[in-house]
Structure 1
């Protein structure tokens, strides 16, 4: 569960610290209220493509930090342990984008590749937008939902281990 989102020098935002309570979080608001910037920041933290246009004019870099409570996410904690990125019961993702477009990603203050960040983040957050229902038509998503409903996490982890050998 996302607990905090910190944004520095992203688009028009100089600094923003957002703390979220436990449970469902919903972003609503009028046009121009900043919802898209929050989603851009979260997407950046989760491994979306970086762009130098994200950096606030006059700043050397943009930075986004997202902290997640993992107390109820044993599979995610196991992934962190397998990749030697484990922490306590939380994970801190940090992503920076320099004015020249280069980006860096960190999980629990350790540098990671964008691919590793995307793999990790793929199980953390589900964002539903206006056309999110289209995702349900994808075979990969249908398999994921079926495996989740069947409680196949341990079996999938075992299969993944055999595949990587």
Structure 2
């Protein structure tokens, strides 16, 4: 490994000797069955917080909620930027929707609600890369924006699979 580093770095290998030493000392060696750092100091080198400690910390602050049949719950939604799904856009878009009544316990954390509360699925053709093309279907408004030295014409376009409130200026 040292030879490969010296050949790769050519004349500047002495600037990286500390990193090369660190890498060498923390690599597992078959001959001794451990990393040289572990053989010298009797413990493993920890470069960052272990994933187990991170998981334990997160789990301390997580609440496992279980609901009974007949209880009412709110559903948390995460609106995407620019999507007007629940009638408001931006900061005023709702964080929770509901309340919904629990009708049946299906699994450990799965519940069935009233089927009439299911949001309608829009028929949108999605490409393999999970993108789709917005198609304009009409112009619903026109205005001019006045800048210092010029006037910019703007048209409000109504898009396919969108409501009239979701029309945008272009």
Which bracket does the TM-score occupy, shorter chain normalised?
Answer: under 0.3
| TM-score with structure 2 setting the length | 0.27
Larger radius of gyration: 2
| TM-score with structure 1 setting the length | 0.27
Please identify which structure carries the higher helix content.
1
